[in-house]
Amino acid sequence: MAEPHTKPPQPFTLRMRRYDPESGQAPYWQEHTIELEPHRSVLEGILQARDRFDGSIAIRCSCRQAICGSCGVRVNGEPALACHTHLDAAMRGARDGVIEIEPMGNMPVIKDLIVDMDAVHWRKVQRVTPWLLAKQPVPQREYLVPREAMVDVTQTMACIQCGACVSDCLAMEVDPGFIGPAALAKAYRFVGDPRDAQQFERVNDLAQDPRGIFDCTHCFNCVQACPKDVNPMGQIMRLRRIATVDHHIVDRNNGERHEAAFTRLVKDNGLLWEAELLPRSYGGNSWFGKFAPRAGKELLSSLPAIIKALLRGKVTPAGALRPHKIPRRDLDSVRTIYDKVEGRGERYELNLFISGHDEDEQPSAPSAVPAGEADESR
Ligand code: SF4
Ligand code: SF4
Ligand code: FES
């Protein structure tokens, strides 16, 4: 049973980023000391500051229980739901004894802690056709689909569209055009749904788009930021596997070839041989790849970066020419993993979001979904 919250109210100082684009003034920090029990939320602290000290503080909120997704902010530099962050926990993460609250990143600020979700987040969600394109003929009554297939998409259905993942996406910071973690997680919601008629078209579209699934840099920020464990990066990797392994899509962004070169190099050497990655990605997945005209062109355009890396000692000429070595025994272990994974008859996608089993079911592994089953709609 949960411990009752018995601690009395205590003071907490909040440092809030204030900005009103219409005022013409630059953003500034403002501090207020509020008094609340430590288990109360940062949102309650902001609302108290607004009630007691400054009625012009702007914050968006509705449910106050981590359901509606409206109160996304940054607390001490990390994306969070203000209503789902306890004051005592926020205080533990405070750098100088003051809880710092800012608007989310990667989206324009409308006022203070409110960002323009329409301009970025919702526009990107619309980009992925976020509705079911039903298989025909539509049944007279409901579609019957395997229960496991729906469990597989449940994780993405947990998204509350708060934008925390968008706020901290490194790829979006560099390329604001990137479709982004939340929208791509939404895309998997329909790509993985056996009732949808356009799985190939959807993944092909997202693979061929230069700002699509291959634009993600695997930084894990979205995984860490998400308050609902949607694991957006994991959903992007699933989209990639469906595009490359199931539909054999060779995209114009070189994503599929890059992935193939990467895995082959690790299989052959036990570690990544960075200097070989680019030529093989562009010229073909073998040592001779570097002699292909396309690889030469890419190598030439990457020369400034290569010279910089050499000058800074990130790459040495010897390291570029020879693969990194690991002991033979370790290399054998790496290859055993490859043999095991590649030798499997079907791919298993592990949905770690749902655990346990229904009482009327045989105890089995309901979270493990054979990829092939996703098409068995009846
Ligand atoms: S893992 Fe990919 S989608 Fe997620 S935050 Fe990083 S770059 Fe963005
Ligand atoms: S994936 Fe998570 S962090 Fe991103 S919008 Fe959905 S709930 Fe928020
Ligand atoms: S107010 Fe609804 S999620 Fe915080």
Q: Quick check: 310 and 317 in contact, CB under 8 A?
A: yes
- Our answer on whether the CB atom of 217 is closer than 6 Å to any ligand 1 atom is yes
- Our answer on whether the CB atom of 94 is closer than 6 Å to any ligand 3 atom is no
The pLDDT-based confidence of 364 (bands split at 50, 70, 90) is very low
Residue whose CA is at the smallest distance from ligand 2 atom 2: 226
Residue the block writes with tokens 């055993």:
336
Q: Which residues, in sequence order, are CB contacts of 52 under 8 Å at separation 6+? A: 32, 34
Report pTM.
0.86
The Cα 86–Cα 246 span in angstroms is: 44
Give pLDDT tens digits for 73-105: 999 999 999 999 999 999 999 999 999 999 999
Give pLDDT tens digits for 26-71: 999 999 999 999 999 999 999 999 999 999 999 999 999 999 999 9
Q: Quick check: 94 and 100 in contact, CB under 8 A?
A: yes
What single string gives the DSSP state of each residue in 273-335? -HHHHHHHHHH-SSGGGGGSHHHHHHHHHTHHHHHHHHHTTSS-HHHHHS-----HHHHHHHH
The Cα 155–Cα 238 span in angstroms is: 12
What single string gives the DSSP state of each residue in 48-83? HHHHHT-TT-----SSSSSSS---EEEETTEEEEGG
Half-sphere exposure of 29 (CA within 13 A, CB side): 9
- The single-letter DSSP state of residue 366 is T
The pLDDT-based confidence of 283 (bands split at 50, 70, 90) is confident
- The single-letter DSSP state of residue 134 is B
- Our answer on whether the CB atom of 69 is closer than 6 Å to any ligand 3 atom is yes
Helix 255-269 vs helix 328-342: angle between axes, to the nearest 10 degrees?
A: 140
Tell me what the mean pLDDT of segment 135-151 comes to: 87
Ligand 2 pocket list (CB less than 6 A): 159-165, 181-182, 185, 225-226, 228, 230, 232
CA 317 to ligand 3 centroid distance, Å? 54
Q: Quick check: 66 and 84 in contact, CB under 8 A?
A: yes
- Our answer on whether the CB atom of 99 is closer than 6 Å to any ligand 1 atom is no
Tokens of 259: 């992935």
